[in-house]
Structure 1
Amino acid sequence: MVIIRIVRMTFLPEKISEFQSIFEKCQNDIKQMPGCLHLELWRDLDNPNIFVTHSHWETEEYLNTYKNTEFFGLIWKRTKALFADKPLAFSVEKVS
């Protein structure tokens, strides 16, 4: 079963370019993580301060292993400092 991970983040307007730079620099490393099958960054059409990461993982164990890496810890710390609001993160599975 593939795990689909959605993370919705609202950024301070003046921090958007900094977030985009962080994502641009680390996206290939994330895609190379064991178990990562897919990664995209989306932007809300109605609120340009909102971005969503959409990723697919082979299993929940691979996702959790990634979230426990030093790499993730550093990226998440830098990203959290740019937030205007609390993020929303959840995992789902495709039903049909």
Structure 2
Amino acid sequence: MLIRIVRMTFAPEQVPAFLKIFHRSQYQIRLMPGCRFLELWQDAEQPHIYCTHSHWESEEALNEYRRSELFGQVWPATKALFAAPAQAFSAHQVLPE
């Protein structure tokens, strides 16, 4: 499984527009092949900073989503609202022995 975190900084006045995009698309994203989990986090000290936390069956599943028509609509609309470049990384969970 691949865990994906994307940290996004918005101008405070752009937050409502971002939330509208996220709430409108979250269910479609969750239905994408290979998506097992998606949630949105808001920074506790800087409320204009959000992170998406998603789980994908594989890197290929994530890349398929990134090549999808849905991503082609959601990401450019979200990116247009940024106050700073997004920071994204992928990780694997380390299970206890």
TM-score (norm 1): 0.97
The alpha-carbon deviation at position 73 of structure 1 amounts to: 1.3
| Equivalent-residue separation in structure 2 for 1:28 and 1:74 (angstroms) | 14
Per-residue CA distance 1:37-82 (angstroms, 9 max, x = gap): 0000000001001000000000111000000112101110000110
Give 5+ residue unaligned stretches, structure 1. none
Partner of 2:88: 89
Q: Quick one: distance in 1 between partners of 2:91 and 2:72?
A: 22
Cross-structure match for 2:10: 11
- Aligned-residue CA RMSD (Å): 0.5
Taking the aligned partners of 2:69 and 2:32, their CA distance within structure 1 comes to: 12
Partner of 2:19: 20
Q: Distance in 2 between matches of 1:57 and 1:93?
A: 10
Question: How many pairs align?
Answer: 95
Flag the structure with higher strand content: 2
Runs of 4+ in 1 over 6 A off after TM superposition: none
The letter for the 1-side match of 2:29 is I
CA distance in 2, matches of 1:11, 1:19: 8
> Alignment identity in percent?
54
Aligned residue identity for 1:50: I
- Residue in 1 that maps onto 2:72: 73
- The alignment partner of 2:5 has SS state of strand
Q: TM-score, normalised by structure 2?
A: 0.96
Unaligned runs of 5+ in 2: none
1:59 aligned to 2:58?
yes
- Residues 1:34 and 2:33 are matched in the alignment: yes
